[in-house]
Structure 1
């Protein structure tokens, strides 16, 4: 759902009437989930190396592909030389000003840097990590003109985004174990509370450009809604899936399919901007069609890559399906 929400926002842009209700949680949920699934006490260098292969290697290889696309645009449309150089330079510099087709690349690089930052701070007293995260939110608030977001590869955004990672980690370790009953109801209440805050005028996030809304309040509401969604999906939705699997005997297929869709998320994030650009170039104006084609085609490419040795360099995960073998290689990266 979180991956689809990224494509939805880019397909509709200003046409999305409920855009503020989407932006309040869309990107925070990704970082919150990073904390939710965080594994502590991994050795720093091997962990950083693994994350480099899983995130930055696909980022760099897809950047090469996007550069080839821009050069093709140049041959097709005869772009001005200065414009061409500007597109390539901004695409490779990263951060807030990345143009299409690099549209959402910033998230992958920021995710890499924030996970490295969390791993480095993990061995220090926990209050230091929280102090760094809160300092990041302060800097995002006081530095003008998206200063943090316009750092190379958006590395400056790792500081405020650490807040969501820490909240996801703390929520799983310290809050969820105490919630014995009614998790789905509580989760729904939290999501509705966040929507009410937006309805009452709370500014949403625009993290790509260093926008964190009202200082601390907007991030907290984003965390509250993310926590609510985790509770709903971890209770009600998971229960429905288990019931479906039991009644239909499709448990293995469901697990394999959901795992595959999740593991190809990096491809969707990196590719959907290009698909949207090409769909619009063909004259498609209907937002729903743009969304459906961009999400479906990007995910299809990701799933196809998952069945080939190119899965590791381009999707950042090991090959999952082996066409010549009846078994799957679904080991976690």
Structure 2
């Protein structure tokens, strides 16, 4: 049930929050800073002798060729790295296609999906998950359509519950196989990707209702957790691999530590100058408590430090 949506939703949200009009160079620069820079930094850190020897105890050394190839060649402690390069490629390709008519934009993902379904094209073997990224354009473009037409959906919350519930039920009962985007496995032709998008769209519509009007402390708390979360994506598998090396452990313990430990570290890193390098987001700056209560600071927030996360220049803006 998780595989049906837990990766596609990131591509759907990329499309849903897409900011039109940015130049190709600007897109490449922003995505390189927010995605590729942390990717390269954590690849080097995890492959370093200090970390690598601990994680690969009793195993063969991780080949540098596989590290450079990326994508499906990366496993173990690098299990989620493929997603970062796939998202980078997908975002850049969408930016390249942006000025074309909508039907031409859809040609690329449709051609990629047909090649997977009919010809079993090995898109998953393309280095840095670039081939998988083209197939993932389906979810990005579908996310853009959701943003454009969601206001026309009658009873959006009900529609969201129905879409997500029906899609999850179809996967849970094994009527529809889930996707495994890392391997470019899109399941049952046409049906699986449509069901995956339906789940993602339903979750977005429900979330819009649940979090409407959220601001203040709760809004800042959600933002603070979200902004450095790319580090969680890149490092949670390190915790899992550490447990594997250490020996058997309860799956619940592995789950909790793989979630909590990377996120706590990400929040700490987000307070340091290393934040851009390791999280892809600017350093979190919090003004002093005294300044927060100063009446002039309240009316002129630009004169003090910002409460909450510094805006990520690489993050897409809401439509």
* TM-score, scaled to structure 2: 0.86
Is residue 2:240 matched to residue 1:276?
Answer: yes
Superimposed CA distance per residue, residues 112-135 of structure 1 (whole angstroms, 9 cap, x where no aligned partner): 000000000001111111011101
Q: How does 1:38-49 map to 2 (within 5 A)?
A: 38-49=18-29
Does 2:94 align with 1:118?
A: yes
Residue aligning to 1:84: 61
Q: Deviations over 1:7-60 (max 9, x none)?
A: xxxxxxxxxxxxxx1111111111001100001111111121111111011101
Aligned equivalent of 1:297: 261
Matched, 1:197 2:206: no
User: Tell me, what secondary structure is at the counterpart of 1:46?
Assistant: helix
Judged with a 3 Å threshold, the aligned counterparts in structure 2 of structure 1 residues 77 and 224 are, in CA distance, closer, same or farther, namely closer
Corresponding residue for 1:285?
A: 249
Residue 139 (structure 2) pairs with residue 164 (structure 1): yes
CA distance in 2 between partners of 1:115 and 1:66 (Å) = 26
Q: Which runs of 5+ in 1 are unaligned?
A: 1-20, 243-250
310 and 212 in structure 1: CA distance in 2 versus 1, 3 angstrom threshold: same
- Counterpart contact for 1:90–1:99, Cα < 8 Å: no
- Superposed, 1:176-255 pairs within 5 Å as 176-179=150-153, 182-198=155-171, 199-235=173-209, 237-239=210-212, 242=214, 251-255=215-219
- Count of aligned positions: 296
- How do residues 67-82 of structure 1 correspond to structure 2 at under 5 angstroms? 67-68=47-48, 72-73=52-53, 77=57, 79=59
How big is the shift at 1:149? 1.2
**1:51 aligns with one of 22, 28, 31:** 31
Change (3 A) 1:69 1:214: farther
Contact in 2 for aligned 1:149/1:157 (Cα 8 Å): yes
Query: Which among 250, 273, 284 is matched to residue 309 of structure 1?
Result: 273
CA distance in 1, matches of 2:117, 2:190: 9
Shift of 1:67: 0.9
Aligned equivalents of 1:183, 1:138: Cα separation in 2? 31
Query: 1:321, CA displacement in angstroms?
Result: 2.8
- The root-mean-square deviation of aligned C-alpha atoms, in Å, is 2.2
Confirm or deny that 1:318 pairs with 2:259: no
User: How far apart, in 1, do the equivalents of 2:265 and 2:238 lie?
Assistant: 13
Hey, what's the Cα distance between the residues in 2 that align with 1:238 and 1:232?
A: 9
Counterpart among 40, 47, 53 of residue 60 in structure 1: 40
- Which one of the candidate residues 56, 69, 81 is aligned to 1:105? 81
- Greater Cα shift, 116-125 or 311-320: 311-320
What's the offset of the Cα at 1:200? 5.0
Is the Cα contact below 8 Å between 1:187 and 1:230 reproduced in 2? yes
Q: Report which of the two has the higher share of helix.
A: 1
Distance 2:271 2:62 in 1: 36
Whole-Å Cα distance in 2 between the matches of residues 71 and 234 of structure 1? Answer: 41
Give 3-state SS (helix, strand or coil) of 1:149's partner. Answer: helix
In structure 2, the gaps of 5 or more residues are 292-304, 314-319
CA shift in 2, pair 1:178/1:74, >3 Å: closer
Output one character per residue of 1:45-102: Cα deviation in whole Å (capped at 9) or x when no partner: 11211111110111011110111158742798365xxx3253x322331111212211
TM-score w.r.t. length of structure 1:
0.83
Q: Is the 8 A contact 1:63 1:92 kept in 2?
A: no
